[in-house]
Amino acid sequence: MSNLATLRAQIAAVEAGTRGPSKVLPFGDPAVDGCFPGGGLPLGAWHEITADGMEAEIGAALAAFVARLLPSLPQVLFRGDVVWVMRRDDLYPPGLAFLGFPAERLIQVRAENDEEALGVLEEALACRGIAAAVGEVEEVPLTAGRRLQLACERGGGAGFVINRRPWGLAGRRGSASGSAAASRWKIAPAPSLPGEGGLGFGPLRWNVELNRCRGGRPGSWIFEEAGHGPHPFRVAAEVADHGLAPPLRRSA
């Protein structure tokens, strides 16, 4: 490899927030994977998951999104447990199992405040016996975010920070820090289509925005829960309601 090629590789590694060749989790869709410099979600890093309004307090769509993503991570597939650091006792393991998450390998930790939650999350990510760690906090200060990234690099696991605000603060804007995160997402629930034969509901759906990706570009999609396979989601095509009559044109 020439000196110029070596320099380009080093720059690409720095832009991706890694110290060497990066490992990624492809989503299996070029429209999504093309937003990341490595062709997929960077592993050995932490990612910030946000929401607006009441969803930032309830956190159901955010937790479901992360729970559906985690089983596809190589770390979770082949080794280790998953630590979930909570501020409230509202995590429902049977619901996680329904999403394909290995609930028997879940370690739940209750923290009293954000500082304690971030400390536990950092220790979990630095441990090589932990495949991934999730923390529910209101915001991540820049210094704490850098410490989380160093912990991910030491332990080799993936981290996910779910921004959850205390009750009664739905109107307040979420954390704008997140500069140390490898990516920053905004998640909202999306209506499901009818199930097979028009009975029940189809797969779960999320409105997904990739607001920031280190070295990459943003994007927005509707993610739909995928079936059995290597990828947790598929990009759902927007469905037009052809049953509605066209709007009447107002006469002059």
pTM: 0.80
Which pLDDT score is estimated for 80? 80
Which pLDDT score is estimated for 227? 75
> How far is it, in rounded angstroms, from Cα 148 to Cα 145?
5
Residue 123 DSSP SS3: helix
CB 85 within 8 A of CB 111: yes
DSSP secondary structure letter of residue 197: G
Which pLDDT score is estimated for 135? 97
| SS3 assignment for 3-66 | HHHHHHHHHHHHHCCCCCCCCEECCCCHHHHCCCCCCCEECCCEEEEECCCCHHHHCHHHHHHH
Domain edges within the chain: 40-186+210-218
For the chain (252 residues), the mean pLDDT of every run of 10, in chain order, is 48 43 83 95 95 90 94 80 92 90 92 95 93 94 95 94 75 54 96 74 91 94 85 75 42 42
Which pLDDT score is estimated for 89? 87
Which pLDDT score is estimated for 176? 46
Which pLDDT score is estimated for 238? 59
- Does the domain made of 40-186+210-218 have the CATH classification 3.40.50.300? yes
